[in-house]
Amino acid sequence: MCCPLLRYLPFARLIELCEERLAMALTSLDPSSGALEAPGLLVLSDELALEQLRRVAIAYLAQHFEAAQAGEGWRVLGKEQVST
């Protein structure tokens, strides 16, 4: 997480709610739109240690692999994210 202290302050619940909202928004997108958004959300989830969002983004990318790989967002992924 960018600031580990946020996990211990009252912001923890706000972070959870935002993470849930991002995960729900991703799963409600059509494959062409989601394929563009999922890679960026995976990067964000790794940067901020958001495990639920990471799981959802990986599942979405796996389910829509061809569309995701062909999209512009695929280029933002690092080796560790692609090999996950």
CATH of the domain at 16: 1.25.40
Task: Give me the number of domains the chain comprises.
Answer: 1
Q: Mean pLDDT in the chain?
A: 83
Residue 8 has pLDDT above 70, yes or no: no
- Model pLDDT, residue 56: 96
Q: 52-66: per-residue pLDDT in tens?
A: 999 999 999 999 988
| Distances in whole angstroms, Cα of residue 46 to Cα of each of 18, 30, 42, 50, 54 | 15, 23, 6, 7, 7
Residues 6+ positions from 39 with CB-CB distance below 8 Å: 57, 61, 68, 71, 73, 74, 75, 76, 77, 81
